Amino acid sequence: MTNKTINDFEKEILRKIDNNEWLTECEVKRLIRDCYAVDSIDVRSGDWTVYKQEIIKLGCRTFRVNWVRGLTECQDDLFESQIPVEVKQITKMVEIAEWVELEQKNG
């Protein structure tokens, strides 16, 4: 979505978010299915479903939307009405401690 003008659907979604209006199930589904997602996070997994968070990019802004992926042919994906939460990406550094062997002194 770089170097692309924002389309009418994106404008309407941003208007609704900025006015604290709920998106419909169809709008949430379209955001996820129509390539607006830039990241996908598995929050929790069960036998039949995975609870997911999709990071959606609209223009230069990013939002989190929640949905449920069905894992079998009997379980449908679930897209609920919601107000997406605006998010930003941060980078975290993780320090890891390891135990290593000391060199043996000969003699």
Q: 56 pairs with which residues across the strands?
A: 37, 63
- How confident is the model over 93-103, as a mean pLDDT? 94
Is residue 2 predicted with pLDDT exceeding 80? no
Give the per-residue pLDDT at 94: 94
The Cα 68–Cα 57 span in angstroms is 19
The Cα 31–Cα 79 span in angstroms is 10
| CB-CB contact of 84 with 17 (8 Å) | yes
Give the per-residue pLDDT at 21: 98
Q: What is the pLDDT of residues 12-65, one digit of tens each?
A: 999 999 999 999 999 999 999 998 999 999 999 989 999 999 999 999 999 999
Q: What pTM was computed for the model? A: 0.78
The Cα 72–Cα 57 span in angstroms is 29
Chain centroid to Cα 5, Å, comes to 22
Q: What is the pLDDT of residues 76-93, one digit of tens each?
A: 999 999 999 999 999 999
Show the CA angle centred on residue 103, arms to residues 102 and 107, nearest 5°: 130
- How confident is the model over 5-17, as a mean pLDDT? 92
